[in-house]
Structure formats: structure tokens, C-alpha cells
Chains A and B, each alone.
Chain A
């Protein structure tokens, strides 16, 4: 009985090696081909490197990866870039196909609020302040849960439900709507990033502000280039259009996730410069830590929910069938 439980635990672990986007098809094929559990698990291990590499290649968005690399390089060093970029690529390959479970999200908020205050502050705070820190974790967790709930409800307003089947004209119209919204957002992004790039050296100081301005300018140029060179041909075939639409959504979501974190960086810089001075009393340290947690948690929550929504739609596009047009 124990061996059986261990076996199924091992099976679940190995099955999770296959990236979510390919899991359904690959594991189904292997299950169909190998009745013996040992053979099935061995084949998962053999296929996994190819499937992971393929998913990393499929989800690779080189301009966004380069922008991420630039931010990491300026704020850390080259070694960190060498470690972080493969991890970021791996992270893209393992993106979940749906939005996170709200219960898991809330549990995460609670754990984060207590853990961050315990680990991050207990080391820096005098022992007399530890109780205050622990007491603060309660209200902080409520704020984080409220923030997460707000993000979940905000994303719930989007209409992501795709029918099982639709005519080519309806899919083309949906794609057209997406492109229009994307163009509008690109213009807004470009203006906001450009203005912010001019402001950072004054607001944060030249040492951190100039590299940050360079990254903001590069991101604005990327959006400008995408706006000007937006001439990719839209396929007239249903399956190709669904694939094309999914690819465009994937690229857009990757850039939006990066932008979301990019807007957090100046805030973190301001908080960090306050912390580095070292003269801040413990109460200020607590406040700075709380602000850091709120900023990072907010960006992470928005990205997870938004990414989940996009992935849900991409998964639905994968199983979408064509129906004859009503006009035809």
C-alpha cells in the first residue's frame, strides 16, 4: 500500500515535469503507449528534455528577455543575468494554463505577509520590535487579501469565455478587436514610458535613474517599433488564425508582465535608497518593508491573474472548432 502511494506520488511529480501547454497531449500519448508504470515513467523522463526545450523556444520573446536582462544587469551583475535568464525562460515554459485558485491565492497572501515580516525584519529589528512586527502581520495579511480579491474581481469583469466552436468570421472579428485594443494600449504605453524615462534621473538620482531611464526608453522604442511595423499577415485559414491569435496574445501578455514589473522598479529604488541610508528608525524599516511587500505583491497578483486569463483563452483557442458561417 505504501509502495503504491509512493509510486503515485512519484508519477505525479514526473508528470509535472512536462510543461502544462504540452502535458495533455504528451502524457496521453505515453499512457496510450505504455501500460506498465515503470515504462511510462521512464518515457516521461526521456521525452521531458525535448518537450521543455521546445516549450522554452515557443515561449521565447527575445526583445522582452533582453529588456529583462538589461534591468537585472544594471541592478545586479552579469553573473545574475546568466542565472536569471534561463530561469525566466523556464518560467515562461511552465506558465499555468488557467488563473490561480482564489483559495490558494489567499493562502499565499497570508503566508507572504507573515513570512516577509518575520524573515525580512526579525533579522534587522531589535528584539523589542519583534512583537510589533508580528502584530503588524495580521492587518497586513488583511490588506493583501483585500488587494488580491480586488485584482481577482477586476479580472473577472473581462469576457474570456469562448464557445466550443465559432465561424471564421467571428474569430477574425475577435482577433481584430484584440489588435485594436493592443494598438491603443501600445500608444498609451509608449507615451507613459517616454515621459517616465525623462523623469527618473531627477526623481531617483542619476546613478539609478539613468540606467532605469535607458530601460524605459528601450521599452518605449519596442512599443513604437511594434506599432510601426505591425504588418503581420492575418491567416485566412481557421486553424492558422487561431494559432496566430494565440501567439499574438502570448507575446502581448509577456510584454505586459514585464511592463508591470518595470513600473515597480522605481518604487523599489526609492524604498531601497531609504533603507540603505541605515539611519531610519525601526518603525521606518517596518514601513519600508510593508511598502515593498505591497508593491511586489500587487504586481505579482496582477500578473498572475492577467496571465491566467490570457492562458485560459489560449487553451480554449487550442480546442476551438470551426462552424460554417451563418451568412454562408
Chain B
């Protein structure tokens, strides 16, 4: 499987964290939160969601229209099995990276949040 790009990792993590409530607005907010203080273009999130859906990493469905959205529906997203697998691989890689750095530098001043 093709490895995930950094931005794809962020978007997939946001979908994982949000669970049932993952749609455009919440995903964008979560990605901005995860990549703080960097500002994230909303359009980039939509483009990445489309690309990951085409790769089969996530699936989407439309909800009922709501008045606060001007009578428009939400497109909800959820992680698919290949997406979960790709995210696990990413986490393992990140863990190896942290272990190597902390071994060479004698421990990191911060701990990765769980």
C-alpha cells in the first residue's frame, strides 16, 4: 500500500478522533487543532478527503438537510479498513522515529500525548 502523506495522516487522524461526527466543518477544525499553529486551507481538506475516498481509505455518506446549513446536507466520513491499517503503519513509523531520537539525544523533553 502507498504510504500516507503528512496531510493525509492529519486528516485520517481527525476522522478517527471525531468518529460519528466527522464531516467537513469538524474535520477542518480538528486538522487545524492537530497542526497548530499552522493555518489550514479548507479547500485542501476537501481535496484530500476526495483523494482518500478514491483510494478506499475512507467512505462517505450524506445526512439529512439541516436549516443551519441553508437546507443543505452534510457529507459524513468514516475510516475504512485500509485507512485504519494505513494509520496503524503511520503510528508505528512515528513510534520508531521517537524511539531513535530519544535514544540518540538521551530522552525527549516532551512525551507524545496518548
**A307 near B: Cβ within 8 Å?**
no
How many chain B residues sit at the interface, stated as a range, is 20 to 34
B21 to chain A, nearest CB (A): 13
Is the pair A31, B70 in contact by a Cβ cutoff of 8 Å? yes
The answer to whether the Cβ of A272 comes within 8 Å of any Cβ in the partner chain is: no
Whether, in the assembled complex, A321 has its beta carbon less than 8 Å from a beta carbon of chain B, the answer is yes
CB of A264 within 8 Å of the partner chain: no
Q: Is B98 an interface residue (CB 8 A)?
A: no
Chain A binding site: helix, strand, loop or mixed by DSSP?
Answer: helix
Known contacts: A32-B25, A46-B41, A50-B41. The answer to whether A26 contacts B46 by CB under 8 A is: yes
Are B51 and A54 interface neighbours, CB within 8 A?
A: yes
Q: Does B61 contact A (CB under 8 A)?
A: yes
Among B25, B65, B74, B80, contact of A237 (Cβ-Cβ < 8 Å): B80
- Whether B43 and A319, one on each chain, are in contact in the complex, defined by CB atoms closer than 8 angstroms, is no
A32-B25, A50-B41, A240-B59 as given contacts; A24 in contact with B46, CB under 8 Å: no
Partner of B61, one of A30, A57, A319: A319
Residue of A nearest to B72 (CB): A28
Task: Decide: B25 and A319 in contact? CB cutoff 8 A.
Answer: no
Asked if B60 and A28 make an inter-chain contact with CB atoms under 8 angstroms apart, the answer reads no
Give the distance in Å from the alpha carbon of A22 to the alpha carbon of B62 in the complex.
Answer: 11
- CA–CA, A27 and B24, complex, Å: 10
B26, chain A: closest CB distance, angstroms: 9
Chain A, range 220-255, C-beta contacts under 8 Å to B: 235, 237, 239-240, 243
Q: Which of B24, B43, B51 contacts A49 (CB 8 A)?
A: B43
* Residue contact B42 to A43, C-beta cutoff 8 Å: yes
* Distance (whole angstroms) from the CB of B84 to the closest CB of chain A: 13
Q: Is the CB of B46 within 8 A of A318?
A: no
**Within the assembled complex, what's the spacing in Å between the Cα atoms of A29 and B59?**
18
Q: A25 touching B43 by the CB < 8 A rule? A: no
A58: CB under 8 A from chain B? Answer: yes
Distance from A148 Cβ to chain B, minimum over Cβ atoms (Å): 32
Contact of B73 among A24, A57, A239 (CB under 8 A): A24
Bound-state Cα–Cα, A43 to B56, Å? 28
Contacts of B23 in A (CB 8 A): 25, 29
The 26 listed contacts between A and B (C-beta, < 8 Å) are A22-B50, A24-B62, A24-B73, A24-B75, A25-B73, A25-B75, A28-B65, A29-B28, A29-B42, A29-B69, A31-B70, A32-B69, A46-B41, A46-B42, A46-B43, A47-B46, A48-B43, A53-B47, A54-B47, A54-B50, A54-B51, A58-B54, A235-B56, A237-B80, A239-B61, A318-B60
Chain A residues engaging chain B, CB cutoff 8 angstroms: 22, 24-33, 43, 46-51, 53-55, 57-58, 235, 237, 239-240, 243, 318-319, 321
